[in-house]
Amino acid sequence: MAKIVVLDGYAENPGDLSWDELAKLGELQVYDRTSCTDDDEIISRIGDAAYVYTNKTPIRKAVLDACPGIRFISMLATGYNVVDVAAAKEKGIPVCNIPTYGTAAVAQFAIALLLEICHNIGHHSNAVHNGKWANSADWCFWDYPLIELEGKTMGIIGLGRIGQRTAAIAKALGMKVIAYDEHPSDAGKAVADYVDLDTLLKTSDVIALHCPLFPSTEGIINKDSISKMKDGVIILNNSRGPLIVEKDLADALNSGKVAAAGLDVVSSEPIKNDNPLLQAKNCFITPHISWAPKESRQRLMDAAVDNLRQFLAGTPVNVVNQ
């Protein structure tokens, strides 16, 4: 049987899922983690494998040149920027991704960030457990202003599958939903009103980022765009960290121009200790876990197996470098 290697399987499967279906398709070797900087280690681990799976471990041209046995590469993720897809195409190697596994989970998490900002539930629960309610002079207390979302406007930048699901949940909360997308769709029109970017920035109470990272969207939240926003706006990002100029957002949080931010992604991950957002006011940061419910990861696993199964059948799917 041909060899299959998984270069960094731990994030996808820390032990609560099974690789058994993938193992049925070849001689499987799973590594929890592989260096992202040491091409020699990457080359050594791929060896003469025909089928390679990666999440964040880069497969550069030098790796492709040194591993001529590679016939197929699949991401364990949607993004594929860690693979030199052009070099792979030159060698006739299809690179496949997993495009839709996390739609429900990521949209749910965006709203979870928003609700935490609105109610500070974690803080208030901790305060109760630490005795503040038991020692309160009143029958209730709150340490932060509480925010009702009904009637407020959510502006979504990027109205693809995840943006549409977030819009539907926001509507169920009674919010008005507007959106900016370079490629409007009929499906998007069913859940939001399309507007230009300046209108979205000026009129939204909450701005949620659900767009891909392209040159046109990198740094889309910056000093200039923030200046166009309402005072007290809330910003959510569980898409891609570089969509935000982090120093500009930190300054806006500290000045109060932006009331709060809910972020599941940052520009460099794991986050660096000198990231200005760590010291910013009212900045809620989680460690890139929107995608990670078990149900979502199982869909990812199923799609990853199907990518190879379809390739072996001569009908490759989810190929990003055709």
Strand order in the sheet with 283-285: 193-194, 176-180, 153-157, 206-209, 233-237, 258-263, 283-285
pLDDT tens digit sequence for 220-271: 999 999 999 999 999 999 999 999 999 999 999 999 999 999 999 999 999 9
pLDDT tens digit sequence for 129-144: 999 999 999 999 999 9
Are the CB atoms for 114 and 121 separated by under 8 Å? no
Which residues does residue 262 pair with via DSSP β-bridges, in sequence order?
236, 284
Positive or negative, the CA dihedral 97, 27, 87, 92 is negative
- Provide DSSP, 277-303: GGGSTTEEE--S-TT-SHHHHHHHHHH
Residue 48 has pLDDT above 90, yes or no: yes
Alpha carbons 145 and 122: distance in angstroms, whole number? 14
Alpha carbons 74 and 214: distance in angstroms, whole number? 21
Residue 122 has pLDDT above 90, yes or no: yes
Known catalytic residue at 240: yes
- pLDDT for position 84: 98
- Domains 3-101+294-312 and 103-285 in one fold: yes
Alpha carbons 217 and 198: distance in angstroms, whole number? 14
> Which residues in 55-138 belong to E strands, given as ranges?
72-75, 95-96
Residue 33 has pLDDT above 90, yes or no: yes
Are the CB atoms for 65 and 92 separated by under 8 Å? no
**Domain layout of the chain by residue ranges:** 3-101+294-312, 103-285
Task: Tell me the whole-structure pTM to 2 decimals.
Answer: 0.94
Residue 111 has pLDDT above 90, yes or no: yes
Residue 59 has pLDDT above 90, yes or no: yes
Q: Could you tell me the pLDDT band of residue 12, with boundaries at 50, 70 and 90?
A: very high
Residue 217 has pLDDT above 90, yes or no: yes
Which residues does residue 60 pair with via DSSP β-bridges, in sequence order?
none
- pLDDT for position 1: 87
Are the CB atoms for 229 and 201 separated by under 8 Å? yes
Known catalytic residue at 150: no
What's the mean per-residue pLDDT of the chain?
Answer: 98
27, 182, 269, 295: which one is catalytic? 269
71, 124, 288, 309: which one is catalytic? 288
45, 165, 240, 299: which one is catalytic? 240
When the candidates are 3.30.70.1150, 3.40.630.30, 3.40.50.720, 3.30.70.141, the CATH number that belongs to 103-285 is 3.40.50.720
Known catalytic residue at 288: yes
**The two three-digit tokens of residue 204, written as one number:** 């939204």
Q: Could you tell me the pLDDT band of residue 92, with boundaries at 50, 70 and 90?
A: very high
Q: Could you tell me the pLDDT band of residue 318, with boundaries at 50, 70 and 90?
A: very high
Positive or negative, the CA dihedral 303, 16, 7, 78 is positive
**Percent of the chain's residues with pLDDT above 90:** 100
**The two three-digit tokens of residue 242, written as one number:** 């570089």
- pLDDT for position 172: 98
**Percent of the chain's residues with pLDDT above 70:** 100
CATH 3.40.50.720 fits 3-101+294-312, yes or no: yes
Alpha carbons 15 and 301: distance in angstroms, whole number? 13
